[in-house]
Amino acid sequence: MDDIELLLKRAAEMLRQESPRMDRQELVAFVRTFLHRREAFLDINRRHGSPLYIIDEQALLDRAGQFGDAFRREIPGIRLFYALKSNHHPAIASRLVGTGMGLDVSSGVELTTALAIADAMIIFSGPGKLPSELALAVAHADRVTVLIDSFGELARLEQAAGDAGVIIQAGVRLTIDERGLWRKFGIPLADLERFLTEAAVCRHVAVKGLQFHSSWNMNPDNQIAFITRVGAALQALPKKKRARISFVDIGGGYWPMAGEWLQAAGTPEGRLRQMIAPETAATGVSYRYVSTPIEIFARRLGETVKSELLSRVDCTIYTEPGRWLCHDAMHILLTVIDKKGDDLVITDGATNAIGWERFETDYFPVINLSRPDEQERPGLVLGSLCTPHDVWGYGYYGSDIQPGDVLLIPAQGAYTYSLRQNFIKPLPETVVMPSVRPDGS
């Protein structure tokens, strides 16, 4: 069988597969939670107009409580650092710091944002830190721990701290995969002992911890596998070097509890169909890949941390939730500005507010707050950018849709606001929807 025949066979097999479909009852239940609050959203629209980002303070605090409870129950003393890159709005970061979290930053821009939040303890990760960024970290050595990304960065941080005459706390990042693009991050695990040897002669950098990170974790398997590798590496270290480790940061990348919601074009078989026939229309069917509940994440990671890390070093465990915390904590409010046919409307807000063509592949319900209904009707809901890829959805929840109707795109808190771009249209303003106290106030 030649290469073309083999590829055609694999393509045919893929096209016969079908990704797991969204449970319609679960989806309607999700939409209903927002319809129950429609008057609050409509009141925000009356007072502030649209388009808008709405920070859902109650959802943010609920997620912070759920995540913290799950991990503190399984790993006593664990410290949580919110990954600012997932949504860098200061109101989100400051509210999470108010719950006792620190902040994980990966650039000088993010570090500046974090330093403006009182009492925030900060870990500074990321490759290729600039001399000015290292200098900023050193200037705030009382609040910042630098997660060193390379041997060269160790030398540059030692120089910056020496010039400032301070000692800065640090850790070293370990790459989770010595092949491919993930080599960009950190040092190979095999180089850990050599790194600790070089760090030991630094007078101004106190390397006291390890960090690694894996992304898109629908389950804890990748983290468990690498924690096991780290445990073996720690066991092999000389006792004196092992005793220097006072924290191990197991990263983040926890996928939100809703799972991954996709349009047909976001599935493997759907992508292939669009490559074969680019004009393929949306099917009106949505798909969902299930993620592991955070309580199970915490339990399984806790078991591995205790057996592989805490049995070998006396250390504090750090973790860096981002997407999981802020996914539900921001929504987008729009108004229909034009109706060009029974199956096509244009909104005042555009997808420069999310920074990429998300809804060509990802699925989220478009909820018509002005004409509420629990049935999803087909129709293109498009933004007002001068590009055909400005898509909000291929249908909407509502009895009808007309100019002036107010639409809600829920759960847009993670990697949308932080990826927004100044392209053609102005960016939305932001409004905070305050949390509701137990007494209803």
pLDDT at 438: 47
Q: Do 365 and 314 lie in a common domain?
A: no
366-384 pLDDT, tens digit per residue, is 999 999 999 999 999 999 9
Task: Identify whether 78 is part of a domain.
Answer: no
Last residue of a domain, one of 274, 301, 321: 321
**Average pLDDT of the residues in 381-403:** 96
Residue 16 has pLDDT above 80, yes or no: no
**Same-domain pairing of 305 and 348:** no
- Counting residues of the chain whose pLDDT is more than 70, the rounded percentage is 95
- pLDDT at res. 439: 46
Please determine, for residue 272, whether its predicted confidence score (pLDDT) is greater than 80. Answer: no
Q: Looking at per-residue confidence, does 329 or 284 come out higher?
A: 329
What's the CA gap between 424 and 384, in Å, rounded?
A: 9
Least confident of 15-29, 165-179, 182-196, 365-379: 15-29
Query: Model confidence over 405-420: pLDDT tens digits?
Result: 999 999 999 999 999 9
Mean pLDDT over 229-243 rounds to: 96
429 and 316 assigned to the same domain: no
Contact 362, 394 (CB under 8 A): no
Residue 277, CB-side half-sphere exposure with 13 Å CA sphere: 8
* 93 shares a domain with 225: yes
- Is residue 100 domain-shared with residue 238, that is, in the same domain? yes
Q: pTM for the whole thing?
A: 0.94
Return the pLDDT at 441.
45
Based on the domain organization, do 211 and 194 belong to the same domain?
yes
317 shares its domain with 359: no
Q: Domain containing 243: what range?
A: 88-256+293-321
379 CA to centre of own chain = 29
Do 356 and 90 contact (CB within 8 A), yes or no?
Answer: no
Please tell me the total count of domains within the chain.
2
**Structural domain contains residue 305:** yes
- pLDDT tens digits for range 132-180: 999 999 999 999 999 999 999 999 999 999 999 999 999 999 999 988 8
Shared-domain flag, residues 99 and 201: yes
Q: What is the CATH number of the domain that holds 28?
A: 2.40.37.10
Pairing state between β 102-105 and 79-83: parallel
Q: Where are the alpha helices (DSSP H) in 221-374?
A: 221-236, 239-242, 268-276, 294-305, 323-326
| 84, pLDDT greater than 70 | yes
Average confidence score pLDDT of the chain: 93
Per DSSP, helices labelled H in 49-89 are 57-74
Instruction: Please indicate, yes or no, whether residues 111 and 127 belong to a single structural domain of this protein.
Output: yes
Q: Is the pLDDT of residue 296 over 50?
A: yes
Would 111 be classed as within a structural domain?
Answer: yes
Q: Residue 6 — pLDDT band, cuts 50, 70, 90?
A: confident
Predicted confidence at residue 398, as pLDDT, reads 98
Distance (Å, whole) CA 230 – CA 233: 5
CATH of the domain at 220: 3.20.20.10
